[in-house]
């Protein structure tokens, strides 16, 4: 949350549409992948130049420009000028702390989603932004860092006469969104493994480190929820949107993605419930241990009350206490204390207090 606020603070005082990179600057070169296809042909070119990304043809195939890296502000500005994108779209592309959303600019649709990647070994959650621009016969995708997220879509394009090859740009955009949401389930499955490990540690041998781990998990769940929760509204908007860019056929397929987003959200909510219950279990275990300690101390104190009473009687400064002059008085007092103590222990045991 602190990182999010700091990134937002970089745009303080600037006018809307100002191109400012809110993420960390990088030395790596931005990669542009150009993919053009129709039912019969497929052209894939890695490290393409911007001049090769031409959209004005008499009978254009579907064009997909996949850009890896958003730290080159000049390149983003050139793409915006080339596609005549609204300045607010370019600003949002460079601002990698955007909430998932859909913006309708008549000739184009701008979609923001979050990519989530969780490593169950290092237990690190990576959250990055994905920007999709849907236009007539073209899709432009912006990824913050190099990833194989869209590799399944590229592999499907390589299959001749596939449904993806025979459809338009709107179906390609749907396929990318579906790929993003499907990857959420891989992330959630990895996160579930960590949650199970935390639960096992809590039930086996809880310690102060356990509660720190639970709180860290809760923070990660909030990040997951903040990224995944808006996807339901995004899909719903795309289904209801009055735009010629999305066909009726694609809207029908979007319903399936909507169902997947609901499942992901329900999984997140179950994680929230589990994490909250883990805290309750930890507090209950802590209270139980404290009660056990207090019970032992109380039993010990209770046993010593009559023993102290016996000792105090024979410790009074009177001359005429018969047992004081008795040869076996000392051993009698010890035996009496032992008998009383054992009797009380037997009584506590019968009551199942110990």
207 three-state secondary structure: coil
pLDDT of 315 reads 80
Same domain, 151 and 19: yes
138: enclosing H helix or E strand? strand 138-143
Does pLDDT of 56 surpass 70?
no
Identify any residues that bridge with 124 across adjacent strands, giving them in sequence order.
119
Q: What is the mean pLDDT of the chain?
A: 86
What mean pLDDT comes out for the span 300-313? 88
- 97 with 198, same domain: the answer is yes
Buried b (16+ CB within 10 A) or exposed e, 81-95: eebebbeebbbbbbb
Per-residue model confidence (pLDDT) at position 60:
67
**Is the model's pLDDT at 305 over the cut of 80?**
yes
What confidence score (pLDDT) does residue 179 get? Answer: 96
Same domain, 108 and 43: yes
- Higher-pLDDT residue of 330 and 189 is 189
Lowest mean pLDDT among 51-60, 113-122, 127-136: 51-60
Same domain for 177 and 210?
yes
Q: What is the pLDDT of residue 25?
A: 58
Number of helices and strands (H, E) in the chain?
A: 11, 7
Residue 249 corresponds to which tokens in the numbers above?
Answer: 């056929």
- Answer whether residue 53 shows pLDDT above 80: no
Please give the average per-residue pLDDT across 267-272, as a whole number: 94
pLDDT band at residue 57 under the 50/70/90 scheme: low
Domain boundary among 230, 253, 284: 284
Residue 24 has what pLDDT? 62
Give 30's DSSP letter: P
**Is 160 a residue whose pLDDT tops 90?**
no
CA-to-CA distance for 209 and 270, rounded, in angstroms? 23
pLDDT at 353: 79
pLDDT band (50, 70, 90) for residue 59: low
What pLDDT sits at residue 331? 86
pLDDT of res. 251: 92
99 contacts 108 by C-beta, under 8 angstroms: no
The answer to whether the CB of 270 falls within 8 A of the CB of 192 is no
Q: Looking at residue 55, what is its pLDDT?
A: 58
DSSP character at residue 86: -
Question: How many CA within 13 A on the CB side of residue 334?
Answer: 4
Angle, in degrees to the nearest 10, between helices 87-94 and 73-83: 150
Overall pTM > 0.85: no
Shared domain check, 83 and 22 = yes
Residues 333, 276 share a domain = no
Residues 254 and 307 in one domain: no
Residues 265, 338 share a domain: no
Let me know if residue 59 belongs to a domain: yes
Give the whole-angstrom CA distance, residue 183 versus residue 24.
25
* CATH (domain of 328): 1.20.58.340
In a domain, 289, yes or no: no
CB atoms near residue 32 (< 10 Å): 22
Least confident residue range of 38-42, 137-141, 185-189: 38-42
Tell me what pLDDT residue 98 has.
85
As a whole number, mean pLDDT of residues 266-285 equals 90
Coil, strand, or helix at residue 113?
strand
Residue 63: inside a domain: yes
- Tens digits of residue pLDDT in 223-239: 999 999 999 999 999 99
Residue 14 is predicted with a pLDDT of: 57
Condensed to tens digits (0 to 9), the pLDDT of residues 98-119 reads 889 999 988 899 999 999 998 8
202 compared with 325, residue with greater pLDDT? 202
* Range in 12-16, 214-218, 296-300, 332-336 with the lowest mean pLDDT: 12-16
State the pLDDT at residue 23.
61
Q: In terms of Cα–Cα distance, which of 162, 130, 146, 133 is closest to 37?
A: 162
Mean pLDDT of the 156-168 span: 89
Per-residue pLDDT, 285:
84
Residue ending a domain, among 232, 252, 284, is 284
What pLDDT band is residue 10 in, cutting at 50, 70 and 90? Answer: low
Strand-pairing partners, residue 140, are 65, 133
Tell me the C-alpha distance between 101 and 234, whole Å: 6
pLDDT of 245 above 60: yes
Tell me, yes or no, whether 145 lies in a domain. yes
Question: What's the domain count of the chain?
Answer: 2
Residue 155 lies in a domain: yes
- Identify the H or E element spanning 136: none
Structure tokens at 117: 């990647």
- List the beta bridge partners of residue 110: 103, 133
- pLDDT of the residue at 22: 66
| Same domain? 269 vs 300 | no
Indicate if 47 and 160 belong to the same structural domain.
yes
Same domain as 131, residue 65: yes
| Structural domain containing residue 256 | 2-284
User: What confidence tier does 19 reach under pLDDT thresholds 50, 70, 90?
Assistant: low
Q: What is the CATH number of the domain that holds 77?
A: 3.30.460.20
Give percent of the chain with pLDDT exceeding 70: 90
Domain closes at, from 243, 263, 284: 284
Domain identity same for 236 and 300: no
């Amino acid at each position: 949350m602190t990182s999010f606020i700091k990134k937002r603070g970089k745009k303080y005082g600037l006018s809307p549409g100002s191109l400012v990179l809110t993420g960390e600057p990088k030395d790596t070169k931005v990669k542009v992948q150009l993919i053009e296809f129709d039912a019969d042909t497929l052209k894939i070119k890695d490290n393409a130049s911007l001049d090769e990304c031409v959209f004005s043809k008499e009978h254009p195939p579907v064009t997909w420009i996949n850009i890896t890296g958003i730290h080159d502000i000049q390149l983003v500005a050139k793409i915006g000028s080339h596609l005549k994108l609204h300045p607010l779209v370019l600003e949002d592309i460079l601002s990698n702390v955007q909430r998932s959303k859909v913006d309708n600019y008549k000739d184009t649709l701008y979609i923001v989603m979050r990519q989530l990647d969780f490593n169950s070994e290092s237990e690190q959650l990576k959250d990055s932004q994905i920007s999709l621009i849907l236009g007539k016969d073209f899709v432009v995708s912006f990824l913050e860092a190099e990833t194989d997220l869209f590799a399944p879509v590229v592999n499907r394009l390589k299959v001749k006469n596939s449904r993806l090859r025979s459809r338009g740009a709107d179906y390609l955009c749907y396929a990318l969104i579906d790929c993003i949401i499907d990857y959420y389930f891989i992330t959630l499955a990895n996160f579930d493994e960590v949650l199970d490990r935390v639960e096992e540690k809590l039930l086996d041998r809880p310690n102060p480190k356990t509660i720190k781990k639970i709180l860290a998990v809760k923070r990660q769940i909030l990040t997951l929820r903040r990224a995944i929760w808006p996807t339901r509204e995004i899909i719903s908007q795309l289904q209801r949107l009055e735009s010629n860019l999305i066909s009726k056929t694609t809207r029908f397929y979007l319903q399936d993605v909507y169902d997947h987003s609901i499942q992901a959200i329900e999984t997140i909510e179950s994680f929230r419930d589990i994490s909250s219950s883990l805290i309750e279990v930890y507090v209950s275990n802590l209270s139980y241990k404290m009660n056990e300690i207090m019970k032992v101390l109380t039993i010990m104190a209770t046993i010593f009350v009559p023993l102290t009473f016996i000792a105090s009687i024979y410790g009074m400064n009177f001359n005429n206490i018969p047992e004081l002059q008795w040869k076996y008085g000392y051993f009698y007092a010890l035996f009496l204390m032992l008998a009383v103590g054992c009797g009380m222990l037997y009584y506590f045991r019968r009551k199942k207090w110990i």
